Amino acid sequence: DDSLYREFGEKPGLVKITDDLYDKLLADPRTQPYFEDAPIKRIKQKLVEQFCVLLGGPCEYTGRTMKRTHEGQNIDRAAFNALVEDLQDAMDKNGVPFHAQNKLLAKLAPMYRDVQDRE
């Protein structure tokens, strides 16, 4: 069932959301230090794939594991919450319905376990 994927505007919608998310992450003092020297093109591409899979779209995730990717980055709950807020703004800006936003966020929440380095 790809109804959730369609509510995000399929691939073009995910590309726009990911572009807007990245702009916000670089403008947000809580997340900017993590992303200023990061490989922007690669991250955007892998994030689109990953969101597409999570939303039931016809994609394959070709990136590294969440644990491997984020280890040693000192990501804590505050940084994680900041990214989630910036993602909510990006989804709002792109007209994703609230119930659809919540479904994606519910899939991301348990990933905190693999992304964080410290409580």
Residues lying near ligand HEM in the complex (CB under 6 A): 31, 34-35, 38-39, 42-43, 46-47, 50, 63-64, 69-70, 73, 75, 79-80, 83, 108, 111, 115
Residue 109 Cβ, how far from ligand HEM at the closest point, in Å? 8
Cα 59 to Cα 37: distance, rounded to the nearest angstrom: 27
Residue 63 Cβ, how far from ligand HEM at the closest point, in Å? 3
Cα 102 to Cα 106: distance, rounded to the nearest angstrom: 6
Residue nearest to ligand HEM as judged by C-beta position: 63
Residue 47 Cβ, how far from ligand HEM at the closest point, in Å? 5
Q: Are 87 and 21 in contact (CB under 8 A)?
A: yes
Residue 68 Cβ, how far from ligand HEM at the closest point, in Å? 8
Q: Are 73 and 117 in contact (CB under 8 A)?
A: yes
Cα 112 to Cα 22: distance, rounded to the nearest angstrom: 19
Distances in whole angstroms, Cα of residue 75 to Cα of each of 63, 69, 82: 19, 11, 11
